[in-house]
Structure 1
């Protein structure tokens, strides 16, 4: 006969250990809260997000800021330019309290005002073209991946055809041909619309391929089979089952596509087929700075840094979102 095992403390009274368990219930966390916790731990992504928010506010409020400070991006200040050297008077491109970024060579226009004016142009073109490419790419990718068969083959060959286009040359030819007035638009409105169409319409296959690959994987999951077994049809499965699970990769790719489109718009403006002067744009300012670099190096540095900081901020934000929304992340 074995002796009874003596236990003490918590082992003898498990109810004593569990006595306070109900005092504070364990709180569940949603997927959004988990993603936000991961995102906050990434200091680079947080810094990029702050810069992106500031850039958006600057672009939206560029006109009120100019009016408040009494700035005119197209005002010529010949008294601030040396008539012989055609360089800004003073050091570092004429930087002063009244002109914190200095003035342009030859014309004397305030660079700070032109950076503000160019911010909304670059962001409108980049965001508009990104939205256009995302909408087309998501629709085409989801339909191709879900239905498969000849539909998938047709859309895939269409993607290959668009990817075979020399995009830069095609954008130059379209932007150069649509001058003056077209489609009931003219001037700056026409230029912005053409850039959004050219950049967005010919960039959708990149996100379309990503969405198609994700859809091919998701359509075989259990929740899709369960929806089919309950009698759900194709449109319901597409919009209620598949699209919510594609939001994370779509959002990440969109944030990474915006800086690419900013650079593309700057390239077209640099080549003279983007935003036409006297409207300020960051790429157009770089174009003017090429011929005046030896006169005033700051004229090239400032718009170049504006593009660099914007692209870097969006890339950091996109990388942070990708890590935060990864279900396998820790």
Structure 2
């Protein structure tokens, strides 16, 4: 009786392929031995097996059959009795099949896990490729001229982070201004503190960082703490205190002005505009491509910035309270400030 398609697919998955002549003969040999074993109900001699094979495969040599048998015994699908080759006998039944198939399964799982790891590594390497930067490098290498894409579309937080790093923060230094806004920022929470340090490095090189939040960000409270991590937040608060002490130009404010662009800009030269946060879609635009858009975004930012409340100017005790009470403490400070003004 022939194997059905389901059994063939499972054997193929275990590594007993039936797609090539040699592989199909291995499965055919196993089938013949199982049939012969059920008829004789005793260990089989090689001559019996070979004669049974010849009735189906006239062209197979003894050497070839020995090779196929060795493969079956090596994986445990067939068991042998007898120490000497010429007196060796073979057993193939449900017990040997189970043992052999379990061995094949373990081997294949190991192979598949290695393949998965290789694919994951390759996926990571692909993810790390910045196509815009690669394009610039290719043009520079081939033509000897520097060219920067005037506009590009960005998908995903990780790609945005790479573009911001090479196109904005790594380029910034003494005399430059980086303007960044976080309207709500839920998409940026996980790993957000770590990603912010590229702005810190730019500030240490002399670039002025203007980081502006909306109150909605701090209203997320526990979600911010949970996804960013309390230790990471505490570490960054200490970093803010250090930068203030060392006069490093890193400034954070909260704006309650009408919503402006969700953006990161370097001077008035180029700007990354967040189109949607979930899913993350953004575009990098240079002033050469759309000067009006870049100018408008910068003007709106500066207008909101000049009216915004400075978190950087909070006392050390107040900053440390952000760690103890959570980001929503900033809203309490704003509320008290409003009360003081109204009183």
Q: TM-score range by the shorter chain?
A: under 0.3
Higher RCO (CA-CA < 8 Å; seq separation 6+): 1
TM-score, L = length of structure 2: 0.20
TM-score, L = length of structure 1: 0.21
Which structure has the highest strand share of the two?
2
Which structure has the highest helix share of the two?
1
